């Protein structure tokens, strides 16, 4: 049976999902973009992974349009005037979103919704504004059917922000993913607490370390897709990843790995990125003809390449001959310190590499702790996370995270699952978030045990939708299938629950 | 240096006072409550040796001095020892100095609102706590005492100085019922209720409601509600048989108190002026 036939006979795919799968298949028929033999060899061994980005990139992986420009100038291509009221504003956004490409063909960044919409919301009566925003969210959930669709709020409190939280709780939607940009000086405890309450009921928003991102990107940064830091008016060209465990398999010792195998693999991934970035900019149409570019919603110089890594934990455990994960990375000082050495080595080599384009970042790529894909199974934990199931106490897990998060301007994060009594004590969670962000955590996600909407590795899925797929029914959401894979292969929903943490004293 | 027997330290707790707190549980108690869920914290280990051979991890041993000691690294937390102990004790106790406890608290400090001392009965370590609270206060952390009320706070108020106050269990207001339930007539508990309220150090009061004990439940709830009024929260807790020693389960019942029944007492308390009464 041909691949195409497989796709069109798969009962779990919706029409649109079939279309995207067929497009991907079509793309794979071309092989004009070639890499070195060493690259293919490393890829075959699983040490490098292109995240199925497709062999012919015809758009950057992630695009973060400047929606403020849409609101101030309108869009000629889409024949949209600057909106004059709330209805026009959400209508303009809904239309615009349908024309923002990405790796998934869904927009990965919906804008800083509270900041964009607040001027319109404050002119309306609250109930009316809530009704309009509710329909807006419903439109996003049913049209942009992909959990990598992401909206940002904060750092300041606003009526729009509050309404979005209220609606998120009431509607229990998996899309969009939401992030609060948290700044201890700009975000009130009251607003942050409202976000914690919403998170316990819906697994969102997550909390981003606003100060850390501003330092790296300036004020105009977006959190897109899972948890990816990028420039507004820019984005990410490509995101391949080193699968560090597989990269280490041929190393004779930790030093041998850091001196020989690691640099070799880094260079292969850089080669891959350079070629792809050049191809996207020089060969494909996107930066030449797409209205997003020609009308200035994105600028090519604001894009960068995202250098991804996964499986640091397994890599360190392997190099140190640690077989019992419970005594390995995250719990074991030696393994964690080796992890830091490895990250420093990666950071150094990548930052010494002169990348094509990426002008806004002095021609440098930026590191990304990739969140894992369903096929990773238990071999490579997401980014620098401690393997699921062996997490130490929450405090210890945070302390480890705080060491690694600063390495990743283009995103990293960890997820904490709270036991049910926390629904009554959200004020017990806020100090944990504030404390960890102040100590260098970049991104905090949490959810309550037994909720329907849960966070898998970075994105949200409904457990009830996973059950639909198991019953061979279709799920509207594109990523439900990843959620099922991550649950089966990576036990992603079995992470440690925060309740009574005991330290051995 | 002053040392205290620590049963465990919970780094992050959401159920030992407001916000996120580090909770320190001391070993040893002054009462013997029928419904105790952690009976292994009641007494100090007598080094009888009974549990030693049964430890599957080889974490327990008897030293040359005849004392039983516990190796926290080897221990796999299987709870065999505490289930076997005939003396309601535990071998898993560490004698710690204020400095050692503070080391753990300092690590938690960026993430917590404060600390709570509990037990067992933490006031058995009043002197230790006084020093601990002084140190924790320097870090800007609030300190709470979770107590069964057997300690004479009026005579030794020092421990209250750096504390937000006491979370007090009032288990029974009637002397005879108190004697049955906690093996103590409870006079000191009632005295503390009034004293702590008077000096503004009553942080919250808790009473457990037992299934089918209409008269006893009502007497205690009335007593507390009339004394505390709206000065502090009054938590009405449902009896749950889980973890209660078998011999007492027979007396108190194997069913948990249902929520509607408990609500009746919260309502009664509110009617009597304890406006912050609620079921947890
Ligand atoms: S809980 Fe007790 S019996 Fe079990 S391993 Fe630890 S010391 Fe040994
Ligand atoms: S814990 Fe109990 S059984 Fe074990 S030695 Fe001490 S008193 Fe005996």
Query: Domain ends where: A408, A428, A444?
Result: A408
φ, ψ at A60 (rounded to 5°): -65, 155
Q: For chain B, which domains are there? A: 3-41+94-279 (3.20.20.70), 45-92 (3.30.70.20)
Nearest to A501 among B6, B12, B73 (CB): B12
Q: Is there a single domain that holds both residue A270 and residue A365?
A: yes
Of A324, A414, A399, A329, the C-alpha closest to A369 is A414
- Residue A496 and residue A481 in contact, taking contact as beta carbons nearer than 8 Å: no
Sort strands A366-369 and A306-310 into parallel, antiparallel or unpaired.
parallel
Alpha-carbon distance A431 to nearest alpha carbon in chain B (angstroms): 5
Tell me if A81 is assigned to some domain.
no
Instruction: Check whether residue A265 and residue A348 sit in a common domain.
Output: yes
Q: CA angle, corner B32, sides to B28 and B34, nearest 5? A: 135
pLDDT score for A500: 42
Are A428 and B108 a contacting pair at CB < 8 A?
A: no
Cα B40 to ligand 1 centroid, rounded to whole Å? 13
| Token pair of A474 as six digits | 């279709």
Q: Is the Cβ atom of B81 under 6 angstroms away from ligand 1?
A: yes
Cβ count within 10 A of residue B176: 10
Residue A504 has what pLDDT?
30
**Of A374, A408, A442, which marks where a domain is finished?**
A408
Q: Do A432 and B20 touch (CB under 8 A)?
A: yes
Burial of A82 by CB count in 10 Å (0-12 exposed, 13-18 middle, 19+ buried)?
middle
Verify that A243 and A361 share a domain, yes or no.
yes
Taking only the tens of pLDDT, chain A with its 505 residues reads 689 999 999 998 999 999 999 999 999 899 889 999 999 999 999 999 999 899 999 999 999 999 999 999 999 999 999 999 999 999 999 999 999 999 999 999 999 999 999 999 999 999 999 999 999 999 999 999 988 999 999 999 999 999 999 999 999 888 999 999 999 999 999 999 999 999 999 999 999 999 999 999 999 999 999 999 999 999 999 999 999 999 999 999 999 999 999 999 999 999 999 999 999 999 999 999 999 999 999 999 999 999 999 999 999 999 999 999 999 999 999 999 999 999 999 999 999 999 999 999 999 999 999 988 877 878 889 999 999 889 999 999 999 999 999 999 999 999 999 999 999 999 999 999 999 999 999 999 999 988 777 777 667 777 777 777 777 777 777 667 666 666 666 666 666 666 543 333 3
How far is A239 from A247, CA to CA, in rounded Å? 17
Q: Give which of A147, A152, A68 is closest to A466, Cα–Cα.
A: A147
**pLDDT tens column, B163-204:** 999 999 999 999 999 999 999 999 999 999 999 999 999 999
Q: Tell me the C-alpha distance between B97 and B90, whole Å.
A: 19
The shortest C-alpha distance from A77 to chain B (Å) reads 50
Assigned token pair, A116? 């964009």
Which residues touch B172 (CB under 8 Å, ≥6 apart)?
A: B178, B181, B182, B186, B216, B220
Q: Would you give the DSSP letter of residue A427?
A: G
Do A205 and A239 lie in one domain? The reply is no
pLDDT of residue A405: 98
> What ligand has the least distance to the C-alpha of B50?
2
Burial category of A13 from C-beta neighbours within 10 Å (exposed 0-12, middle 13-18, buried 19 and up): buried
Two structure tokens written together for A329? 């990375």
Give which of A279, A465, A316 is closest to A404, Cα–Cα.
Answer: A316
Rounded to the nearest whole angstrom, what is the distance from the C-alpha of residue B80 to the centroid of ligand 2? 11
| A329, A374: one domain | yes
How far does B73 lie from chain A, in Å, by closest CA? 8
- Contact of B111 with A431, CB cutoff 8 Å: yes
Number of domains chain A is built from = 3
Which among A428, A448, A496, A504 is the top mutation candidate for probing chain B, defined by the most B β-carbons within 10 Å of its own β-carbon? A428
For strand A206-209 and strand A443-448, is the pairing parallel, antiparallel, or unpaired? antiparallel
Q: Is residue A99 part of a domain?
A: no
Q: B9 by DSSP, 3-state: which?
A: strand
Interface confidence (ipTM) of the complex: 0.92
Query: How many angstroms separate the CA atoms of A183 and A458, rounded?
Result: 22
Q: What share of chain B is helix, strand, coil (3-state, %, to 5)?
A: 35, 20, 45
Ligand 2 shell residues, CB under 6 Å: B 45-51, 68, 81, 85, 87, 89-91
Model pLDDT for residues A412-453, shown as the tens digit of each residue: 999 999 999 999 999 999 999 999 999 999 999 999 988 777
Regarding whether A376 and A404 lie in a shared domain, the answer is: yes
Q: How many CB atoms lie within 10 A of CB B122?
A: 27
| Cβ atoms within 10 Å, residue A452 | 14
- Average pLDDT in the B148-152 region? 97
What range does the domain containing A306 cover?
Answer: 34-60+228-408
Per the domain annotation, does A197 fall within a domain? yes
In a domain, A80, yes or no: no
- A270 and A155 together in one domain: no
Q: Quick one: which H or E segment has residue A398?
A: helix A394-404
Which residue of A432, A500, A505 is in closest CB contact with B111?
Answer: A432
CA distance B250 to B259: 21
Same domain flag for A455 and A502: yes
Determine the Cα–Cα distance for residues A163 and A142; give it in Å rounded to an integer: 19
Report CA torsion sign: B215, B216, B219, B221.
negative
Contact B114, B19 (CB under 8 A): yes
- Look at ligand 1, atom 4, and give the residue with the nearest C-alpha: B78
A465 inside domain = yes
Residues A274 and A403 placed together within one structural domain of the fold: yes
How far apart CA B73 and CA A130 sit, in angstroms, is 55
Does the residue A78 lie in any domain? no
In a domain, A18, yes or no: yes
Length of chain B equals: 280
Residues 6+ apart with CB under 8 A from A334: A320
Among the candidates A408, A437, A455, a domain finishes at A408
A401 and A280 in a single domain? The answer is yes
DSSP class of B81? H
* C-alpha to C-alpha distance for B126 and B26, rounded to whole angstroms: 11
pLDDT of residue B60: 96
Is the CB of B280 within 6 Å of ligand 1? Answer: no
For residue A93, is it within any domain? no
Ligand nearest to the CA of B70: 1
A339/A381 same-domain check: yes
Percent of chain A as helix, strand, coil, to the nearest 5 = 50, 15, 40
Q: Which of B61, B75, B89, B92 to probe ligand 1 with, by most ligand atoms within 8 A of CB?
A: B75
Please give the span between the terminal C-alpha atoms of chain A, in angstroms, as a whole number: 61
Tell me if B94 and A505 make a contact (CB, 8 A cut-off): yes
Tell me how many degrees the CA angle A261-A267-A272 measures, rounded to the nearest 5. 130
pLDDT at res. A502: 34
The pLDDT of residue A204 is: 94
DSSP readout, B12-58?
A: EESSSSSSSEEEEEES--S---TT-S-GGGSS------TTGGG-TTS
Contact A503 B9 (CB under 8 A): yes
- Using the mean position of ligand 1's atoms as its centre, give its distance from the Cα of residue B27 in Å: 17
Q: Spell out a b/e string for B191-224, using b for 16 or more CB atoms within 10 Å of the CB, else e.
A: ebbebbbeeebbbbbbbbbbbebeebbeebbbbb
Based on the number of CB atoms within 10 Å of its own CB, is B139 exposed (0-12), middle (13-18) or buried (19 or more)? middle
Decide if B167 contacts B17 (C-beta within 8 A): yes
β-strands B142-147, A177-182: how paired? unpaired
Contact indicator for A224, A306 with CB cutoff of 8 Å: no
Whether the CB of A431 is below 8 Å from some CB of chain B: the reply is: yes
pLDDT at A468: 75
SS3 labels along A377-445: CCCCCCCCCCCCCCCCCHHHHHHHHHHHHHHCCCCCCEEEEECHHHHHCHHHCHHHHHHHHHCCCCEEE
Do A17 and A111 share a structural domain?
A: no
Mean of pLDDT over chain B: 96
Length of chain A: 505
């Amino acid at each position: 049976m041909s691949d195409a036939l497989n796709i069109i006979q798969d009962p779990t795919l919706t029409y649109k999902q079939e279309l995207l799968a067929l497009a991907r298949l079509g793309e794979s028929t071309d092989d004009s973009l070639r890499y070195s033999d060493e690259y293919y060899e490393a890829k075959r061994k699983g040490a490098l992974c292109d995240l199925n980005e497709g062999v012919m990139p015809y758009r950057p992986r992630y695009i973060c349009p400047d929606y403020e420009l849409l609101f101030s100038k309108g869009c000629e291509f889409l024949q949209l005037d600057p909106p004059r009221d709330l209805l026009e504003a959400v209508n303009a956004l809904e239309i615009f979103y349908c024309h923002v490409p990405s790796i998934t063909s869904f927009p990965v960044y919906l804008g800083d919704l509270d900041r964009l919409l607040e001027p319109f919301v404050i002119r309306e009566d609250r109930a009316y504004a809530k009704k309009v925003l509710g329909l807006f969210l419903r439109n996003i959930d049913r049209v942009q059917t992909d959990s990598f669709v992401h909206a940002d709020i904060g750092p300041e409190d606003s009526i729009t922000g509050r309404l979005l939280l209220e609606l998120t709780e009431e509607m229990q939607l998996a899309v969009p993913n939401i992030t609060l940009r948290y700044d201890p000086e700009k975000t009130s405890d009251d607003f942050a607490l409202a976000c914690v309450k919403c998170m316990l009921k819906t697994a969102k928003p997550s909390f981003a370390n606003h100060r850390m991102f501003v330092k790296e990107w300036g004020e105009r940064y977006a959190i897109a897709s899972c948890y990816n830091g990028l420039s507004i008016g820019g984005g990410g060209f490509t995101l391949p990843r080193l699968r560090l465990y597989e990269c280490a398999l041929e190393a004779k010792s930790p030093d041998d790995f850091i001196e020989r195998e690691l640099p070799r693999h880094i260079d292969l991934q850089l080669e891959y990125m350079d070629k792809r970035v050049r191809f996207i900019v020089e060969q494909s149409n996107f930066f030449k003809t797409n209205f997003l570019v020609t009308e200035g919603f994105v600028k090519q110089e604001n894009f960068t390449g995202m250098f991804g890594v996964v499986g640091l934990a397994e890599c360190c455990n392997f190099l140190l001959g640690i077989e019992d994960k419970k005594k390995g990375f995250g719990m074991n000082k030696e393994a964690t310190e080796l992890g830091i050495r490895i990250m420093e080595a990666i950071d150094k080599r990548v930052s010494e590499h002169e990348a094509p384009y990426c002008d806004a970042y002095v021609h440098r790529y930026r590191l990304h702790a990739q969140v894992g894909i369903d096929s990773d199974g238990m071999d490579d934990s997401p980014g620098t996370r401690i393997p699921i199931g062996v997490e130490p106490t929450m405090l210890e897990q945070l302390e480890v995270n705080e060491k690694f998060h600063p390495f990743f301007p283009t995103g990293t994060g960890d997820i904490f699952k709270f036991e049910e009594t926390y629904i009554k004590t959200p004020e017990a969670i806020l100090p944990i978030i504030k404390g960890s962000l102040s100590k260098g955590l970049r991104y905090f996600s949490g959810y309550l045990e037994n909720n329907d909407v849960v966070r898998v590795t970075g994105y949200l899925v409904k457990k009830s939708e996973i059950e639909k797929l198991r019953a061979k029914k279709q799920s509207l959401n594109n990523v439900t299938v990843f959620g099922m894979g991550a649950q089966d292969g990576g036990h992603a929903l079995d992470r440690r629950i925060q309740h009574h943490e005991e330290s051995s004293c | 240096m002053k040392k205290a027997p620590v049963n465990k330290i919970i780094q992050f707790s959401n159920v030992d006072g407001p916000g996120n707190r580090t909770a320190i549980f001391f070993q040893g108690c002054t009462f013997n409550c029928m419904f105790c869920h952690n009976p292994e914290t009641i007494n100090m280990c007598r080094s009888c040796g009974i549990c030693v051979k049964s430890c599957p991890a080889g974490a327990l041993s008897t030293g040359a001095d005849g004392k039983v000691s516990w190796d926290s690294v080897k221990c796999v937390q299987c709870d065999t020892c505490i289930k076997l102990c005939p003396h309601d004790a535990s071998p898993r106790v560490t004698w710690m100095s204020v400095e050692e406890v503070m080391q753990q608290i300092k690590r938690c400090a960026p993430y917590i609102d404060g600390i709570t001392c509990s037990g067992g009965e933490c006031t058995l370590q009043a002197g230790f706590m006084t020093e601990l609270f002084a140190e924790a206060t320097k870090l800007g952390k609030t300190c709470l005492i979770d107590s069964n009320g057997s300690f004479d706070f009026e005579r030794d108020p020092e421990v209250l100085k750096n504390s937000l106050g006491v979370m007090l269990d009032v288990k029974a207001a009637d002397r005879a019922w108190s004697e049955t339930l906690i093996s103590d007539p409870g006079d000191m508990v009632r005295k503390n209720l009034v004293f702590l309220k008077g000096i503004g150090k009553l942080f919250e009061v808790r009473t457990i409601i037992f299934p089918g004990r209409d008269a006893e439940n009502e007497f205690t709830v009335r007593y507390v509600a009339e004394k505390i009024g709206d000065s502090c929260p009054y938590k009405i807790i449902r009896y749950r048989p889980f973890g209660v020693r078998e011999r007492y389960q027979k007396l108190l019942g194997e069913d948990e108190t249902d929520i509607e029944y408990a609500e009746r007492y919260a309502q009664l308390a509110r009617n009597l002026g304890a406006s912050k009464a609620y079921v947890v």
